[in-house]
């Protein structure tokens, strides 16, 4: 296969992965990495590096719009990014000492958890009406637009959210996903932010988290421009297409399709890892 054909094939696959990830709200990394490893026979660490670059691209495109519309809580994001960035740097450094099979087993666990999350999306908790003492001292309360105008909310359990974000950063760097599911659950279930604020703030954060860990992968020479170029472009195009299709699509059916695809890929990766055929 020539380089041109390879790049076009990766571009097409990345568009599909980005579209599917956007349609389900779980990101394209959980589809993109198995695609690169199973179909294009890419080394696992290079696939993770390419996925991190794609996360940066897709996050950057949507983050500006959400900030402009008033959904993203930038103060919360900047505070929690301290934890996610520290975790990302630690995870990227840790990845150098873990074997490819160990990293793959962690990623397979993420795949199955993503499939479970797609089928059983937790119902958002009502947002906190008032901040706790620490949330108030840090000035993290905010407002977000609704059909009836701006609605205020408080922020609670900041230390618990900070701890979960540290783990989310490590996971993101280890397996090359945005770990948005972990971030949203932490902000929605623990810190009691409104669900739309949680998702948009998570989108704002994942690009910064991915950039921190991608820098480490770049330093180790595991960011390949021939691979990262079409992956990032394809994932960005796919996420924009997915956002348009999502308006008219049937979300429950999409989540079932996503779960089936992810489980099939997870089983194939597990079989390949157990057989010792992982690069």
- Would residue 84 count as lying in a domain? yes
Residue 144: the pLDDT is 85
E-state strands within 117-159: 142-146, 149-153
Q: What is the pTM of this model?
A: 0.77
**Tokens at 108, concatenated:** 């397979």
* Residue 198 resides in a domain: no
Residue 199 lies in a domain: no
Residues 150-168 have pLDDT tens digits of: 888 888 889 999 999 998 8
Q: Which residues of the chain have pLDDT under 50?
A: none
In a domain, 139, yes or no: no
| pLDDT at site 163 | 92
Q: What is the pLDDT of residue 277?
A: 66
How far, in Å, CA of 230 to CA of 141, rounded? 40
Number of domains in the chain: 1
* Per-residue model confidence (pLDDT) at position 230: 92
230-269 per-position pLDDT tens digit: 998 988 888 778 767 655 655 566 667 777 877 888 888 8
**What is residue 124's predicted lDDT score, i.e. its pLDDT?**
60
> Residue 159's pLDDT is what?
92
Q: Confirm whether 132 is domain-assigned.
A: no
Query: Considering the domain boundaries, does residue 190 fall inside one?
Result: no
The pLDDT of residue 246 is: 56
Residue 153 placed within a domain:
no
Q: What is the dihedral of CA 193, 195, 198, 202, to 10 degrees?
A: 170
d(CA 76, CA 80): 6
Determine, yes or no, domain membership for 215.
Answer: yes
60: which residues sit within 8 A by CB, 6+ positions away?
Answer: 207
Taken in order 163, 164, 165, 170, the sign of the CA dihedral is positive
User: Which domain does 235 fall in, by range?
Assistant: 3-125+161-178+204-274
Which pLDDT belongs to residue 208?
82
């Amino acid at each position: 296969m020539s380089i041109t054909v390879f790049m076009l094939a990766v571009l097409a696959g990345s568009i599909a992965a980005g579209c599917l990830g956007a349609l389900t709200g779980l990101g394209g990394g959980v589809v993109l990495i198995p695609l690169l490893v199973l179909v294009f026979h890419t080394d696992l660490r290079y696939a993770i590096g390419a996925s991190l670059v794609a996360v940066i691209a897709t996050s950057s495109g949507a983050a500006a719009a959400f900030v402009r519309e008033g959904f993203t809580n930038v103060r919360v994001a900047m505070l929690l990014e301290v934890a996610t960035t520290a975790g990302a740097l630690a995870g990227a450094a840790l990845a150098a000492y873990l074997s490819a099979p160990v990293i793959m087993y962690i990623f397979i666990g993420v795949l199955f958890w993503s499939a479970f999350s797609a089928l059983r999306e937790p119902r958002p908790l009502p947002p906190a009406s008032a901040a706790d003492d620490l949330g108030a001292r840090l000035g993290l309360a905010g407002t977000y637009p609704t059909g009836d105008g701006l609605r205020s909310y408080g922020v609670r359990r900041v230390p618990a959210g900070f701890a979960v974000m540290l783990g989310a950063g490590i996971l993101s760097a280890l397996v090359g996903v945005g770990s948005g599911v972990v971030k949203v659950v932490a902000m929605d279930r623990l810190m009691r932010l409104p669900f739309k604020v949680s998702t948009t703030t998570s989108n704002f954060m994942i690009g910064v988290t991915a950039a921190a860990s991608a820098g480490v992968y770049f330093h180790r020479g595991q960011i390949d421009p021939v691979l990262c170029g079409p992956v990032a472009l394809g994932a960005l195009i796919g996420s924009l297409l997915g956002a348009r299709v999502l308006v008219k699509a049937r979300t429950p059916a999409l989540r079932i399709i996503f779960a089936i695809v992810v489980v099939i890929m997870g089983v194939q990766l597990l079989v390949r890892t157990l057989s010792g055929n992982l690069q």
